[in-house]
Amino acid sequence: MVTLTQEIKESLQGTKTAFLATSSKSGIPNVVPIAALKLLDDGTMLISDQFFNKTLKNMNENPEIALSWWGEKGGFQIKGTVTIHTNDEIFRQDVAWMKESWPKFVPKSAVLVKITGVYAVKPGPEPGKKIL
């Protein structure tokens, strides 16, 4: 299991928008900007789905995702495996989170990401290097 460093957590928490990349079963890519995401623990992330169409279809066909961001504290890329939740405790946690944080958003599903790797996206000697 990957354990995120404090630097990575602070970087993610400090960004307003991240970009979620998925791919269909046949390899057609899709990238969408997202804001409703949070860490549940050092190796698990929750993404709230209000608007996913192609993204949700892709995740159901191919559960491997990449998430990238750049903020005031730099940026990283996370790779992970997702599970989609629509009628369980994880989904209910997502609904409660949205009611508290963004009341106008009504989740269609909750996307749980088990983080499998973290990569550098900062300029420097080894861009793209796997760091976790």
DSSP state of 96: H
pTM of the complete model: 0.93
Q: CATH classification of 6-120 is 3.40.50.300, yes or no? A: no
Residue ranges per domain, the chain? 6-120
Give residue-wise pLDDT tens across range 5-31. 999 999 998 899 999 999 999 999 999
> Cα angle at 107 between 102 and 113, to 5 degrees?
100
Give residue-wise pLDDT tens across range 68-127. 999 876 789 999 999 999 999 999 999 999 999 999 999 999 999 999 999 988 777 777
**Residue 72 phi/psi, 5° resolution?**
-60, -30
Q: Which two tokens stand for residue 89?
A: 């405790």
